[in-house]
Chain A
Amino acid sequence: MQCAECREMLDMLVDDELMPDEARTVRDHIASCSECSREHESLVTTSNQLTNNLMRYTAPDVLKARIHNGLTQSLSSEPIVETKPKQSRWAWVVAAGALIALASSVVTYSTVTREIATRSAGDEVLASHVRSLMPGHLTDVASTNQHNVKPWFNGRVNLSPVVPALDSSGFTLVGGRLDYLSGHPVAAVVYGIRQHLINVYSWPSTGSDSSPSSETKQGYHLVHWMKGGVEYWVISDLNTVELSKFVGLLRAG
Chain B
Amino acid sequence: MAASDTDRFEALIVPHLDSAYTLARYILRDEHDAQDAVQDAALRAFRYFASYRDGDPRAWFLAIVRNCCHTWRQRNPSVPLNESLVEEMSQALYDSTETDTSAIESSQQAAITRAVQNLPIEFREVIVLREIQELSYSEISEVTGVPIGTVMSRLSRARKRLASMLGNEIKEAS
Determine, out of A41-49, A146-154, A224-232, the stretch whose residues face the partner at the interface: A41-49
Partner of B43, one of A41, A46, A71: A71
Q: Quick one: CB contact mask for B73-106 with A, threshold 8 Å, 1 for yes?
A: 0000000000000000000000000000000000
User: Which B97-137 residues sit within 8 Å CB-CB of chain A?
Assistant: 108-109, 112-113, 116, 127-128, 130-132, 134, 136-137
How far is the CB of B59 from the nearest CB of chain A, in Å?
15
Q: Which of A52-60, A119-127, A156-164, A174-182 contacts B (4 or more CB under 8 A)?
A: A52-60
- Cβ B10 vs Cβ A90 within 8 A: yes
Tell whether A74 pairs with B46 under 8 Å between CB atoms, given A11-B155, A46-B168, A58-B21. Answer: yes
- The reply to whether the CB of A251 lies closer than 8 angstroms to some CB of chain B is no
The residue on B at minimum CB distance from A70 is B43
Taking a contact as CB atoms under 8 Å apart, the answer to whether B130 and A15 are in contact is: yes
CB distance from B39 to the nearest CB of A (A): 5
Q: Within 8 Å of chain B (Cβ to Cβ): is A51? A: yes
Which stretch, A61-69, A78-86, A98-106, A239-247, touches the partner chain B? A61-69
Does A11 contact B136, Cβ atoms closer than 8 Å?
Answer: no
Interface residue from A49, A51, A60 paired with B35 (Cβ < 8 Å): A60
Q: With an 8 A cutoff between CB atoms, is B22 at the interface?
A: yes
Bound-state CA distance A32–B106 (Å) is 37
Residues in A with CB closer than 8 Å to B163 are 42-43, 45-46
Distance (Å) between the CB of B104 and the closest chain A CB? 11
Task: Label chain A's interface by main secondary structure.
Answer: helix
CA distance A63 to B163 in the complex (A): 35
Please, what's the 1-or-0 string for A89-121, where 1 marks a CB less than 8 Å from any CB in chain B?
A: 110010000000000000000000000000000
User: Which of chain A's residues have a CB closer than 8 A to the CB of B68?
Assistant: none
B18 beta carbon closer than 8 Å to chain A: yes
Interface residues on B, range: 35 or more
Are B21 and A63 in contact, CB atoms less than 8 angstroms apart? yes
A75 surroundings in chain B (CB, below 8 A): 1, 6
A33 within 8 A of B: no
Assess the B116–A89 pair: CB atoms within 8 A.
no
| CB-based contact A58/B18 at 8 Å | yes
Q: Is the CB of B132 within 8 A of A54?
A: yes
Report the Cα distance A98→B14, complex, angstroms.
16
Which residue on chain B has the smallest CB distance to residue A11? B156
Total contacting residues, chain A, CB less than 8 A: 35
A89 touches B6 (CB 8 A): yes
Q: Quick check: is A215 within 8 A (CB to CB) of the other chain?
A: no
CB atoms of B46 and A71 under 8 A apart? yes
Q: Is A67 in contact with B42, judged by CB distance below 8 angstroms? A: yes
| Residue pair A11, B21 in contact (C-beta under 8 Å) | no
A56 to chain B, nearest CB (A): 5
Minimal beta-carbon separation of B163 from chain A (angstroms): 4
Query: Among the interface residues B10, B31, B134, B163, which one has the most CB atoms of the partner chain A within 10 A?
Result: B163
CB-defined contacts of A17 to chain B, threshold 8 Å: 136-137
A3 adjacent to chain B (CB < 8 Å): no
For B128, list chain A residues within 8 Å (CB): 54
User: Which residues of A lie under 8 Å from residue B25 when comparing CB positions?
Assistant: 55, 57
Question: B89: shortest Cβ distance to chain A, in Å?
Answer: 12
* A residues neighboring B (CB under 8 Å): 11-12, 15, 17, 38, 41-43, 45-47, 49-51, 53-60, 62-64, 66-67, 70-71, 74-75, 89-90, 93, 194
A selection of 5 A-B contacts at a CB cut-off of 8 Å is: A42-B168, A46-B166, A53-B108, A56-B132, A75-B6
Sorted from nearest, which 3 A-B pairs have the closest CB atoms?
Answer: A50-B131, A59-B21, A53-B112
In the complex, besides A42-B168, A57-B25, A70-B42, 15 extra interface pairs with C-beta distance below 8 angstroms are A11-B152, A15-B155, A38-B171, A41-B171, A50-B132, A55-B22, A55-B109, A70-B39, A71-B46, A74-B43, A75-B1, A89-B6, A89-B7, A89-B10, A93-B17
